Every structure is written in C-alpha cells, then in structure tokens.
Structure 1
Amino acid sequence: MRLILNLIWFFLAGFWMALAYTFAALIMVIPIITIPFSIAALRIAGFCLWPFGRTVVPAADAGVMSGIGNVIWLVLAGWWLALGHLITGFVLCLTIIGIPFGIANFKLIPISLLPLGQRVVPIGSAQDAAGVAF
C-alpha cells in the first residue's frame, strides 16, 4: 500500500516539492557557510519524494546550534517552502482523492520550517519506537 501511495504522491506533489527543496539546496551551497542547510534541504527532498512509510523524529544530539540554524533556515528558505506545502496541500484537498495527500503536505510543513535537529526514519524502526534518533 505504501508503494501505491508513494507513486501517486510522486506525481501529484512529491516531484515538484522535491524540486523546490533541490533548488533551495543549490542556492544554499553558494555561500559556503550555509552548506549544512543545503544538506538538510537534500535530506528533506528525499523525504518529500517518498514520505509514506517514514516519519520524522527529533535527533538526540541536537543542541543550541540546531536552534540557531533553524532560525537562519526559516528566514532564508523555510517560509517559502512551507508556503509551497500549504498551497499544494490546499489544492490537493479540493478533490476527494487528493485529501489524504493534502493532509500529508500539511504534515511536512513543520520539517520544512525547522529541519535541523530532526531525522527521517522508517516507521517501526527502533528510532521511531524510542521517539528520538540516535
């Protein structure tokens, strides 16, 4: 079932949102100091391509620098990526078939706003059961 949901997701929203995150990663790699943001954007792009069967948990080693980095990310790229999820989710919710995919888009907004200090893990893994990534 996850495969079918991921394939439908890929064509309805996943490809376009992953493309937006890849664009953000390319922009973030230009100033050398924001390369960690570029890596985070590429991690989220992979999550946007195939979100079903994976979840986001807080990282155990996240510290103050993750919080500071999240504020910088929010200003530079997070708000317009979250806006993209919001618009895409709203458009998908206009049809009955698209409602689950619109809700999935809304669930991606928190990680698009604050990606640092978060890890994408498979559902049912030890990290998911513990609620924190090791």
Structure 2
Amino acid sequence: MSIIGNIIWIIFGGIFIFLEYIICGLLMCLTIVGIPFGLKIIQLSVLGLAPFGQRVEYNEHAGGCLSIILNIIWIFIGGLWIALTHVLFALLFAITIIGIPFAAQHIKLAGYALTPFGKSIR
C-alpha cells in the first residue's frame, strides 16, 4: 500500500517538494555555517519524495542542547515557512476523503520540518 501511496504522492506534487528541498539544501551547503542545515534539508527531501512507509523518530543520542540550539536557529531560518506550507497543503488535501492520507503525511512532514535536529527517519 505504501508503494501505491508514494506513486500517487509523487504525481500530485511530491516531486516538486523534493526538488524544492534539494535546491534549498544545496544552496544552504554553499556556506560552512549552513552545512548542517543543508544536510537536514536534504534528509527532509528524501522524506518529501516518499513519505508513506517511513517514520520520524527521536534520536536517543541527539546531541543535547546543540540540537535545541540548531532547532531554534532553524525555525527562524526557514523551518516555520516550510511547516506552514505543509499545513496549507494538508488543509487542501483534507477537503476530500481521498486526500486525508496525504494530509496526514503533510502534517508529519510539517512536524519534521519545524524541528528536524534530534530526529531521524526510519
């Protein structure tokens, strides 16, 4: 079921989310300071391409207060805007019964996009 969901996801905009995240991640990696943020965006792009069948979990060895500091910086750099975009798409998909699973995936992506440090994709 997750394969069918991922194929439909890609057709209905998942490829655009993936390309947006890849371009943003590569642009963030141009500076030394932006490399940790760029790598997290690239991880988010993989989840944005095929979200069905994947889980986002907290790392037990998250790095302590460093991940908290990076999450706070990330919220101001772009995490808030990415999360709001996913919430908007979730509201649009939730209008129909068929779109509810896609809305749930957008909510999962919004949570990961808001605070990606200290979490991993499984």
Whether TM-score is above 0.5 comes out as yes
Kept after mapping to 2: 8 A contact 1:57/1:120: yes
Contact persistence 1:70–1:114 (CA under 8 A): yes
Q: How does 1:16-55 map to 2 (within 5 A)?
A: 16-55=16-55
1:6-54 CA-partner distances (Å, limit 9, x unpaired): 1011122322222232232133223321101100000010011111111
Query: 1:78, 1:112 within 8 Å by CA — same for their partners in 2?
Result: yes
Q: Output the TM-score relative to the length of structure 1.
A: 0.83
Aligned partners of 1:103, 1:114: CA distance in 2, in Å? 17
CA apart distance, 1:80? 1.0
Q: Distance in 2 between matches of 1:17 and 1:86?
A: 13
Number of aligned positions between the proteins: 121
Q: Which residue of 2 aligns with 1:102?
A: 103
Amino acid of the residue matched to residue 89 of structure 1? Answer: A
Matches within 5 A, 1:66-105: 66-105=67-106
Report % sequence identity. 36
Distance 1:12 1:107 in 2: 17
One-letter identity of the residue aligned with 1:43: Q
Gaps of 5+ in 2: none
Runs of 4+ in 1 over 3 A off after TM superposition: none
Q: How much is the aligned-residue C-alpha RMSD, in angstroms?
A: 1.3
Unaligned runs of 5+ in 1: 122-134
